[in-house]
Amino acid sequence: RDWGKGRSRGSVGNTGLWAQPRLQEAGGGLRAPGDSVTLSCRGSGFTFEDYFVDWYRQEPGGRFEWVSWISHYSSQIRFGSAVKGRATASRDNSHSLASLSLYLLHAGDCARYFCAVRTETQNPAEVGHKPPVSIPASCLEAGSCPDVQGCSERVV
C-alpha cells in the first residue's frame, strides 16, 4: 500500500530496521444466500490504534462501495446503507486486528472486500463511497483480497 503523506514507520526488533506498514485481509469464500461471513484485517508496521479502519468492496462489475468504518477504540462504528442492520464491525488493538461480519448474505454482497486505514483525515464525514486515493487497493492488484462468492458471476 502507498501510505502517502500519512506514512507511519515501526521498528522491527532491536535491529534498527524499519518495517513497511501493511494490512492483510483474510476470510471470505463461497457462501450460500442467507449465510454469514467474517472478514479480518491485520495491520503491521504501524501503530494500529492510531487509525480508523474502513472496509470497502468491489463488485464483479468493478464498482467500489464503502461498507463500514470503525474508530480508534470502537466508540464509533458506521455502516453503508447496503449492509446496515446486517453487519457488525469490531477491532482488537492489542492484536492489530479489525473484523467485519456480514449476515443474511444475498447476491448483492458478492464482491471482493478490502480494508484500509485513514491516513489523510480522521473526519468520518469525508468518507465517500470509493476508496481514498491515498490508499490504492494493492490487494486487488495482488489478487489477495478476501472474496465473498455465491452469485452467478464468480469473483476471480
Range with the poorest average pLDDT among 33-42, 59-68, 119-128: 119-128
**Spatial contact of 150 and 105, defined as CB atoms under 8 Å apart:** yes
141 membership: H or E segment, kind and range: helix 138-142
Tell me how many domains the chain contains. Answer: 1
Q: Which residue range(s) make up the domain with 69? A: 23-149
The SS3 assignment for 70 reads strand
User: 155 lies in a domain?
Assistant: no
Residue 10 lies in a domain: no
Cα–Cα distance for residue pair 72/132, rounded to 1 Å = 18
Question: Which is nearest to 65 in space by CA: 77, 79, 76, 46?
Answer: 79
Residues ≥6 apart with Cβ < 8 Å to 75:
none
Check which CATH number belongs to the domain holding 81 and give it: 2.60.40.10
Q: Are 18 and 32 in contact (CB under 8 A)?
A: no
Instruction: Tell me the residue length of the chain.
Output: 156
Q: Is residue 41 part of a domain?
A: yes
Query: Domain for residue 15, yes or no?
Result: no
pTM comes to: 0.69
Do the domain assignments include residue 5?
no
Q: What is the pLDDT of residue 38?
A: 92
Write out pLDDT tens, residues 16-44: 444 567 788 888 888 888 889 999 998 88
More confident residue, 45 or 145: 45
Answer yes or no: is pLDDT of 4 > 70: no
